[in-house]
Every structure is written in structure tokens, then in C-alpha cells.
Amino acid sequence: DADVTQTPRNRITKTGKRIMLECSQTKGHDRMYWYRQDPGLGLRLIYYSFDVKDINKGEISDGYSVSRQAQAKFSLSLESAIPNQTALYFCATSDSTNTGELFFGEGSRLTVL
Amino acid sequence: AQSVSQHNHHVILSEAASLELGCNYSYGGTVNLFWYVQYPGQHLQLLLKYFSGDPLVKGIKGFEAEFIKSKFSFNLRKPSVQWSDTAEYFCAVNVWGSQGNLIFGKGTKLSVKP
């Protein structure tokens, strides 16, 4: 089983719908991240959390929100999805040693029509 | 702001050709450096990393990278590529004291022709 699990893996939705992407991890890491990947743009950080009560905005947080329900769970919400949020979303974890090394989930492909 | 530049968007090679993918970063302090690989339809996996010590780092599948501090570079190399190396490669930098957040380059897509 994957150490970092994302659900759903694929989702097609319509403009204006609320969408939640979920991430859970069994690595025991304190830090969790949500990234968005777009062709030619690489990975961009949406939100990150260093602990259950810690939430931080990343480079592109507008239009997104997150919830850190437990050490092992970090969910990303799109309150009202729009077509330019069509992308591949990755959850990642890291330990607290500040090395920067990330462990990625398998990705959630979201299409907003 | 710190940034990471990958010089090539798409590289096309024949099998057995040598590979070098460029990566430069824009921060003058101490950094940790990474190369991640994303095979088609898969998630990112760590290829190799540099924290300190020998600037020539060896990773999985015959890849290596050299950290040249004076050039702010961390280029990825492989002497002889295989069709199975077809993937997208991402360079990433962690600046010490930045709470561990990685800054990613935009990626280089490698296509290897059989």
C-alpha cells in the first residue's frame, strides 16, 4: 500500500461545484503539503501544514482551502470550482528535519468543465 | 525570491545517448538539492539528493548529479539512457532556514527513442 494516499484519483466536475480532495499518510510525518501541477509550469505550492493546528498559504492559495483533521490527514477543498483549476493535484509529506525531502502521493486529476 | 531554472523544456534522445539536464538556482546561501522523476501517469519519485559532502551524487537507475556551488548548478547526468528513462524530471531546491519548503523548477520532459 502507498504511504501517501489520495482520493479520488480522478474527478470530473462542473463549474461552481464544491470539491474535496483527501490525503492520508502512514509515514508518521508532521508536515503535509498540497501542490498543483500544470504542463510547463512545474509544481506550485497551494497550502502546507506543519502540525494539526498549523495552516499556511503557499504560492497559489486563492480559490482553495484546506483542513488538517489529524496528523495523518490533510484535505484540499475547492469551494466553487472553475475551469482553470483543472490540473493534477499532489499531496506530499515530509518529516520535521527541514531537509526539504518530500514524499508524494499518486496524484488526483481534477477536470472542471 | 528564490527560483529554480531548468534550461530545457523537452529533450529527445536515442537510446544509448548521454544525457545532461541543466538546473540552476538563484540563492546564494546553503541549499539542499533534489532531482525528482515522474514517469508517465505516475507520481514524483526521488531520483537523488544532495545535502552536503561529495558534490557528485549518485542516484537510482544510473543517474548522477554534480553540485557546482560557484555556478549555482546541479545538473543531472546519465551516460547511456534507456527507453524506460522517458519521463519528466524536476529539479528542486530547499533553502536552509526556509522551514523546509521546496522550490521546484518547471520540469524537463525527456523522450527516449528506442
A99 vs B104: CB contact, 8 Å cut-off? no
Q: Give the β-pairing of A10-13 and A108-112.
A: parallel
Contact assessment for residue B75 and residue B19, using Cβ atoms and an 8 Å cutoff: no
- Give the closest-approach CA distance of A88 to chain B in angstroms: 10
Per-residue pLDDT of chain A (113 residues; tens, 9 = 90+): 569 999 999 999 999 999 999 999 999 999 999 999 998 888 999 999 999 989 999 989 999 999 998 999 999 999 999 999 999 999 999 988 877 889 999 999 999 99
**Distance between terminal CA atoms of chain B?**
41
Interface list for chain B against chain A, based on CB atoms closer than 8 Å: 9, 32, 34, 36, 42-46, 49, 51, 90, 92-94, 96, 98-102, 104-107
For residue B82, pLDDT over 70 is answered with: yes
The distance between the two most distant Cα atoms of chain A, rounded to a whole number of Å, is 41
Q: Which residues of B touch A42 (CB under 8 A)?
A: 90, 104-107
CA–CA separation, A2 and A26 (whole Å)? 8
Nearest Cβ partner of B43 from A58, A96, A104?
A104
Least confidently predicted of A93-102, B9-18, B33-42, B86-95: A93-102
Indicate the average pLDDT of chain B.
Answer: 92
Q: Is A27 on the interface with B (CB under 8 A)?
A: no
Q: Which pLDDT belongs to residue B100? A: 64
Q: Which pLDDT belongs to residue A53? A: 86
Q: How far is CA A28 from CA A6, A33, A62, A99, B88, in A?
A: 16, 14, 29, 16, 28
Q: Which pLDDT belongs to residue B97? A: 66
Q: Which residues of B touch A41 (CB under 8 A)?
A: 106
Nearest Cβ partner of A31 from B90, B100, B107?
B100
Contact assessment for residue A7 and residue A22, using Cβ atoms and an 8 Å cutoff: yes
Q: Which pLDDT belongs to residue B99? A: 64
In chain A, DSSP assigns E strands to 4-7, 10-13, 19-25, 31-38, 42-51, 54-57, 65-70, 73-78, 87-94, 103-104, 108-112
Q: Which pLDDT belongs to residue B101? A: 77
CA–CA separation, A101 and A3 (whole Å)? 15
B105 vs A42: CB contact, 8 Å cut-off? yes
Q: Which pLDDT belongs to residue B98? A: 66
For residue B89, give the H/E element and its range: strand B87-95
For residue B34, pLDDT over 80 is answered with: yes
For residue B45, pLDDT over 80 is answered with: yes
Please state the rounded mean pLDDT for residues B57-85: 96
B107 vs A101: CB contact, 8 Å cut-off? no
Nearest Cβ partner of B43 from A40, A100, A105?
A105
In this prediction, residue B4 has a pLDDT band, given cuts at 50, 70 and 90, of: very high
Could you read off the pLDDT of B89-109 as tens digits, one per residue?
999 998 876 666 788 999 999
